[in-house]
Amino acid sequence: MGPEDPRQAVEAPVRRELTWLAVRGIALVAVIAALAACPIACALDVGACDAMAMLAPALLLGYGLAMQGRRTLGGPVSEEDRAAAWTRAREIDAEDTMLGRMVWAWVPIGLLVSLILLLWPHITDANPALACAWVVIGLPPVTLAWLVASTTWLDAGRDDLARAEGEADALFRRYWANVGR
């Protein structure tokens, strides 16, 4: 591909989105995993551990709401474009698409495992009243936060990839509309 080859410019939005998808997913899981590991690694007192356990769902709910707002501001994406997003990306770069799709699919699992590790000391507390309280009062918001973050993550990933492919398509059409002028 030479400098006059438009392929690099046309494929750039999709390649960029695949990279950012992997970076965002890994960062999201890393933050929640760090919150899960912090009480163990730092030997925090009970109050700090409780705060960490409630900070994680607050962060996930905030993430979910922020991504949903970003999706709304970005405009609607057709179901056809969403359905074909991964296939079209694979045509551009199969390896990056495989990595991006793997991260995209594993983020909800990584979040779930991190949240289970975060809550495990609380729901297995030696005091049965505290353990029961965490199951009854603490588990529902954590579950809700995981559901919101996971579904938003999966939907936003496909939407962002479909938008990047739309941008690549517009660049391609703009290039061919101006050839020879």
- pLDDT for 155 equals 92
- pLDDT for 72 equals 87
Instruction: Quickly count: other Cβ atoms within 10 Å of residue 28's Cβ.
Output: 21
Q: How far apart are CA 27 and CA 29, in angstroms?
A: 6
Give the contacts of 142 (CB within 8 A, at least 6 positions apart): 53, 56, 57, 115, 118, 119
Tell me the per-residue pLDDT of 130-149, one tens digit each, with 9 for 90 and over: 889 888 988 999 999 999 99
Instruction: Quickly count: other Cβ atoms within 10 Å of residue 143's Cβ.
Output: 14
Average pLDDT, the chain: 87
- pLDDT for 2 equals 47
Question: Among all chains, which residue has been given the structure tokens 């005091």?
Answer: 127
Tell me the per-residue pLDDT of 146-159, one tens digit each, with 9 for 90 and over: 999 999 999 999 99
Contact 33, 60 (CB under 8 A): no
Express as a percent the part of the chain with pLDDT over 90.
45
Residue numbers of the chain with a pLDDT score lower than 70: 1-5, 43-46, 179-181
- pLDDT for 44 equals 64
